[in-house]
Amino acid sequence: MNDQTKELPATAAASTPMTLDDAERKWKHLSDTALYKGVDEQRQEPYAGIYRMGRRGVTDTDLLQFLAETEHLRMSSYTAAETVALALRSDKITPRVEDFRIGQRDHAEAMERKATLPAAQVGTDQVHALPRSSKPTKPAAIVRAAISKTKGQLRPTDEQAAAVAAFATGASLKIIAGAGTGKTSTLKMAAESTGRSGVYLAFNTAMADEAKRRMPVNVRASTAHSMAFRAVDPGFRNKIGQRLPARMAAEAAGVRNPVELPGKNKEGEPLVISQAAAGYFMLDWVRRHCMGATPNIMPDSAPAARMLSVMGIAREDASPEDWKRARDLSKELLLPTEKLWARMSNPRDVFPATHDTYLKVWAASGPKIDADFILFDEAQDANALMLQIVEAQSAQKIFVGDPNQQIYAWRGAVNAMQSIQTEREARLTESFRFGPEVAEFANLALELCGSDMRLSGKAPAGREHGGAKPLSATICRTNAEIIEALLFRPDISRVHVAGGTTQIVGLLDGMRELRDTDRTSNPELMHFKSWTELAQHAQSESDDLSALFKLSKEGETIEGLSAMLRQTSAIARPDSHVLSTAHKCKGLEWADVHLAKDFRDPGHKRWSQEEANLLYVAGTRGMRSLSLDDRLAEKLGSKTSYREPGAKEPEQMKQQEKPAAPAGADKCPSPRRSGSRSTRGWPFPASKEAGHGL
């Protein structure tokens, strides 16, 4: 945007003149003060459009001309604004002032009809349309021209060009994009190749914010929740953000006392579920209902695993008959759950609701997304409800994702990349995140996933990795392994735990409550009736909770573990070393990555689909080097180090005793002695002087 500040032409007499600098300040102010993303978006739209168009390289003259016309005609549509701006800077499309009056969709169609016109002659007070060229321009040529004009854009690969060409046909499209293969750049190329308006549907707010920075001006980036929040009854705004304790949910559902269920548990005692446990059960059932495509709460969506706990049966030990009985017992709480849902989904009821509640209500209204095409990113993580919303749209649908990165099946994801049938399909297999060494491990993991896709590493050798992001990370399968890794840190304050420590600390605090009182408010522990029962669970099972229990060894060490976690850095600094679980690392990347030993449950001899997918996700986060714990490499029959050409090998951790425990962590378990198996294969230095890492 030019430094010179200009005012609107006289044609905008219907409104107060606004300079471009004023528009930028106004937009930034509205963005900073919005209490909820999306609530004030309509107010922000005109200013956001002006500001973003300026950043895209549109001239002040073009912007002022557009703003003058839209203000004069009382038009403030964000999508229309950016569509016109895209047309104004294109050398293939010539809009006319009259086109502003015919509406967003008709305008997009008009621009397509005029796609063969030569460049527009833009003045300060009007747009002149030139005669139609005698030689028509083929759509493919327009696509190539649009891509080649993109400022700062790398030359598209053959795979990317094929994906853009498939998009240009207008057919439904599935783009299977491997880790680091430039899917966002490909979507950007596709969107810039057309004058049509699009919507980028993001999985979460962080993805939507990133897309707003990267997508062209004819694409609106949003989450489904943001769309729903703007569309549903305003009464939901007062219901969101309130606490919804389990006992409060149970009261609302009419459950005021413990519920006695038919039959006995495995010890022959009556089956009884407490009021709080019933509340958590029903809230979980409602959560599952909100992710499904059915209008009514269905028995088969009940959280049967929770009922197994009430029955005293471990999930791993449950037989098909046990699962059937758990589902049958769940039906005893169907009517109360329906009462709870009725109150949560009623905008006139002051009872609290969740964000998924209004999304479900919006989906039931049959919403129409106003766009010519929809870019549905991370489609492998979509649940049945989101899939239903997108499939119901008349717009061109582009599903983008990697079926091998589906790691949220436990959260209701249905992996649309495998279940959806589209007219066209494209693949992106050239990864720009890493080179051939890390790609070798990625392909090993893909083989475990049962995939026929193979990646080739195309990242340039000798890349510099620095800036404001941490350089190194250790990725673990479980939270317990994160705590074990912390036990060997002499400088805990330099460690950042991805996603924060609230969940782990809450679990440890719940364990402490159970130890001291045989009661706990933690929902993950409520089905344990005593500390002794938790100890018995830890002896027979191999889940994350059992690992935490065994790590603490005795109850009095729990406080020390909690204190240690609270000393970690809340912010990821350039000199931080990051500890992350495989679930939390998705979408992140570091120069050097180490995979801990705990991938794949030791009780399983074969890799399940979920475990193989988690290994693939974790193993594709490294850009420069990837190292594996010796025991993990032994499980895989692989190398312990994958280092790109020109990359220095991370300094090996010196075998040494752990320094004195940090203040407040005096009850932590003693660290393993030097030379023990716990430090085997640990690749990162332990001190700040040694460099980045662990």
* Residues 120-140: tens digit of each pLDDT: 333 322 222 223 333 333 334
What class is the 139-230+365-428 domain? alpha beta
* Identity of the amino acid at 455: L
The residue to which tokens 């795979």 are assigned: 159
Q: Note the pLDDT of residue 376.
A: 95
Residue 620: pLDDT band (50, 70, 90) is very high
CA–CA gap between residue 670 and residue 251 (Å, rounded): 45
Q: Note the pLDDT of residue 404.
A: 95
Per-residue buried b or exposed e for 663-682, using 16+ beta carbons within 10 Å of the residue's own CB: eebebbbebeeeeeebbebb
Q: Note the pLDDT of residue 551.
A: 76
Q: Which residue has the higher pLDDT, 543 or 323?
A: 323
Nearest alpha carbon to residue 78 among 220, 199, 208, 259 = 220
pLDDT tens-place string over residues 276-303: 889 999 999 999 999 999 999 999 899 9
CA–CA gap between residue 89 and residue 132 (Å, rounded): 18
Q: Note the pLDDT of residue 541.
A: 66
pLDDT over 50 at 93, yes or no: no
Q: Note the pLDDT of residue 427.
A: 96
Angle ∠(533,539,545) on CA atoms, nearest 5: 75
pLDDT over 80 at 465, yes or no: no
pLDDT tens-place string over residues 102-114: 334 444 444 454 4
Q: Where in the chain is the domain with CATH 3.40.50.300?
A: 139-230+365-428
Nearest alpha carbon to residue 640 among 657, 625, 655 = 625
pLDDT tens-place string over residues 223-244: 999 999 999 999 999 999 888 9
Q: Note the pLDDT of residue 37.
A: 36
Structure tokens that stand for 392 in this block: 């119901």
Which range, 94-108, 429-443, 502-516, has the best average confidence (pLDDT)?
429-443
Mean pLDDT, the chain, integer: 75
- Burial class, 502, CB count within 10 angstroms (exposed 0-12 / middle 13-18 / buried 19+): exposed
Q: Note the pLDDT of residue 154.
A: 59
Query: CB 599: neighbour CB atoms within 10 A?
Result: 25
Task: Give me the count of residues in the chain.
Answer: 694
pLDDT over 70 at 13, yes or no: no
Q: Note the pLDDT of residue 231.
A: 93
pLDDT over 50 at 11, yes or no: no
CA–CA gap between residue 282 and residue 343 (Å, rounded): 13
Nearest alpha carbon to residue 651 among 626, 686, 679, 615 = 686
pLDDT tens-place string over residues 497-525: 998 888 888 888 988 898 888 888 887 88
pLDDT over 70 at 59, yes or no: no
CA–CA gap between residue 97 and residue 188 (Å, rounded): 27
CA–CA gap between residue 116 and residue 142 (Å, rounded): 9
